[in-house]
Amino acid sequence: MQAPLTADANLDPATERAAPARGALASDDERRARFTALYHEHFDYVWNVVRRLGVPPQHIADVTHDVFVTVFNKLDEYDPSRPPRPWLFAVAFRVTRNQQRLAQNRNERLTAGEEPLDSIDPQPSAEDGVGAAQERAMLRDALDTLDLERRAVLLLHDVDEKPASEIAALCAIPVKTVYSRLYSARSLLMAAVARVRARRGER
Amino acid sequence: MSAQPELPEDVRAMLAADAREIAPPPGAREQVLDRVFTSVGVAAAVTATAGGASAASAGGAISASVKWTLAALALLTAAGATVVVRQRSTARSSAVGRPLTDRLTQPPQRVSAPIERAPIAVHDPTPAREPTSASLPAPATDRAASIARRAERPAIEPEDALEQEQRLLARGQRALAEGRADAVLDAVRAHSQQFARGALAEERDALEVRALLLARRMDEARAKAERFRRRFPDSVFLSAIEGSLREP
């Protein structure tokens, strides 16, 4: 099992503007080259992590930017011999959480109900139909009732099939908290799905 | 593996479908990269992006406009103006075009918008205090009350005990899904007897309210919900409970 990921308390990119530390990276060129390679290989992954964590479509680009600014500034801490995605997920999770707290402090409602004109969802294929689109919308409504912490645990465990120990490391929480959040996330999600279906007249 | 309330197959299928990677909008990759390099103060690598030279020059231009934006915001803020940070109209024209630093540097401002629901209270074990006076309780009393509240939840619980709690509540959850209110209440009662102050006491009490609603014991459900709200004012289960109480 990998050693626990670094749980940095301060991942606010607004305060991470200092010149990059010259630790393992020999030069700015090397840092830029390594970052650029990482960026292009995992941009879609990070974008989708931010999306799945419930960031509204009109804010995904901003939060993704914040994530990669943090990645750039923390590049010295990443061990290239290990898979990058767990580290990237941990960064995305913390950045998203920090942004949500900032928004809440400003009494800003980051509602996820409005889609931008150029929606990121692809055009439904011939196999998709109105039903699939409605199901996605219903699931999105139900998932949006979960807070970020529970949503992350649910997605990591039930969809990505990560073990509890790995989820604990990614989210910087004890294993027992993973189980507690998973329990409540499933309960809340099922209740939310039932309510949404009832509103839409499904039974 | 400990027992947990299982998600129905259709919900699992929806989650799996939602997990499919969706391609970002065209141009998003390059635009975000340009903004990242601007933010960290690094010139964009010429060979890393298509049209690298133009990306580098665009990065410089963006940096200048950001600086002017920051200066303007600083002046407005100093003058006491409340600046609306979210720019939906510009965001709609492009998913990636909205300047970011205005949001990051804006000092926290409370927008005095009416809130439809009572805001979720931040859980503070100490009661809200009036302006100090000689007649108020001494701080030691407040601390004792705070300690008593914190004692409701054990700081550490062995994993096997947590597993047992989950198993009991999962039994109740299954019974709830099957519409067997009595079985739910049996599970709740068993959990209360064995884990009165367990780590999942909040989940248990929420389950009990739902069981009472299922059994159409409305007066008891309302009373229990009110006690739940007082005990767990910032519980994530509150909105679901209140919603269930409002349903016919």
Shortest distance between the Cα of B18 and any Cα of chain A, in A, equals 7
Q: What is the mean pLDDT of chain A?
A: 76
Q: How far apart are CA A40 and CA B69, in angstroms?
A: 29
pLDDT-based confidence at residue A121 (cuts at 50, 70, 90): very low
Q: How far apart are CA A83 and CA A75, in angstroms?
A: 14
User: Do B145 and B127 meet the contact criterion of CB atoms below 8 Å apart?
Assistant: yes
Amino acid letter, A94: R
SS3 string, chain B, reads CCCCCCCCHHHHHHHHHHCCCCCCCCCHHHHHHHHHHHHHCCCCCCCCCCCHHHHHHHHHHHHHHHHHHHHHHHHHHHCCCCCCCCCHHHHHHCCCCCCCHHHHHCCCCCCCCCCCCCCCCCCCCCCCCCCCCCCCCCHHHHHHHHHHHHCCCCCCCCHHHHHHHHHHHHHHHHHHHCCCHHHHHHHHHHHHHHCCCCCCHHHHHHHHHHHHHHCCCHHHHHHHHHHHHHHCCCCCCHHHHHHHHHCC
Pick the closest to residue B106 from A95, A97, A107 (CA basis): A107
Q: Which two tokens stand for residue A36?
A: 């650029």
Q: How far apart are CA B18 and CA A185, in angstroms?
A: 17
Kindly report the number of other CB atoms within 10 A of residue A199's CB atom.
10
Q: How far apart are CA B86 and CA B113, in angstroms?
A: 14
A193 has a chain B CB within 8 A of its CB: yes
- Contact call for A158 and B25, based on CB within 8 A: no
User: Do B239 and A145 meet the contact criterion of CB atoms below 8 Å apart?
Assistant: yes
B41 has a chain A CB within 8 A of its CB: yes
pLDDT-based confidence at residue A13 (cuts at 50, 70, 90): very low
Q: Please name the member of A58, A62, A107 whose beta carbon is closest to the beta carbon of B113.
A: A107
A120-126: Cβ within 8 A, 24+ apart? A120/A51, A120/A57, A120/A60, A120/B22, A120/B23, A120/B24, A120/B25, A120/B95, A121/B22, A122/B22, A122/B23
Percentage of chain B lying above the pLDDT 90 cut: 12
ipTM: 0.73
Touching B: A residues 119-138, CB under 8 Å: 120-122, 132, 135-136, 138
Q: Which residue has the tokens 């004012």?
A: B233
In Å, what is the CA distance from A157 to each residue of A2, A46, B179, B199? 17, 18, 27, 20
Q: Is the per-residue pLDDT at A79 higher than 80?
A: yes
User: Do A143 and A54 meet the contact criterion of CB atoms below 8 Å apart?
Assistant: yes
- The distance from CA B132 to its chain's CA centroid, rounded to whole angstroms, is 33
Shortest distance between the Cα of B175 and any Cα of chain A, in A, equals 13
Residue B224's pLDDT is what?
92
Q: Which two tokens stand for residue B116?
A: 């439809």
Q: Work out the widest C-alpha separation in chain B, in whole angstroms.
A: 73
Q: How far apart are CA A18 and CA B71, in angstroms?
A: 20
Contact list, B36 vs chain A (CB under 8 Å):
39, 65, 68-69, 72
Touching B: A residues 39-78, CB under 8 Å: 39-40, 43-45, 47-48, 51-52, 57-58, 60-62, 64-66, 68-69, 72-73
Q: How far apart are CA B10 and CA A196, in angstroms?
A: 14
Q: Is the per-residue pLDDT at B31 higher than 90?
A: yes
- Contact call for B236 and A147, based on CB within 8 A: yes
Q: Can you spell out the DSSP letters for A23-79?
A: SS--SHHHHHHHHHHHHHHHHHHHHHHHHHTT--GGGHHHHHHHHHHHHHHTGGG--
Q: Is the per-residue pLDDT at B125 higher than 50?
A: no
Amino acid letter, B18: D
The whole-number average pLDDT for the span B224-230 is: 90
DSSP state of A121: S
pLDDT-based confidence at residue A19 (cuts at 50, 70, 90): very low
Higher pLDDT, B120 or B35: B35
Helix axes A28-52, A60-73, angle to 10 degrees: 140
Residue B158's pLDDT is what?
55
Interface residue of A62, A76, A146 to substitute, partner B, most B CBs within 10 Å: A62
- Contact call for B111 and A192, based on CB within 8 A: no
Give the tens place of pLDDT for each residue, B166-187.
Answer: 778 878 887 887 788 899 999 9
Higher pLDDT, B38 or B70: B38
Pick the closest to residue A66 from A21, A20, A11, A103 (CA basis): A11
- Contact call for B5 and A187, based on CB within 8 A: yes
| Cα end-to-end distance, chain B, whole Å | 38
Contact residues for B81 (Cβ-Cβ < 8 A; gap 6+):
none
Q: Please name the member of A19, A57, A191 whose beta carbon is closest to the beta carbon of B240.
A: A191
Give the tens place of pLDDT for each residue, A84-107.
Answer: 998 999 999 999 988 887 776 665
Q: Which residues of B11-26 are buried (b: 16+ CB within 10 A; e: fewer)?
A: beebbeebeeebebbe
B208 has a chain A CB within 8 A of its CB: no
- Contact call for A106 and B111, based on CB within 8 A: yes
- Contact call for B14 and A136, based on CB within 8 A: yes
The whole-number average pLDDT for the span A138-146 is: 84
Using CB atoms within 10 A of its CB, is residue A154 exposed (0-12), middle (13-18) or buried (19+)? buried
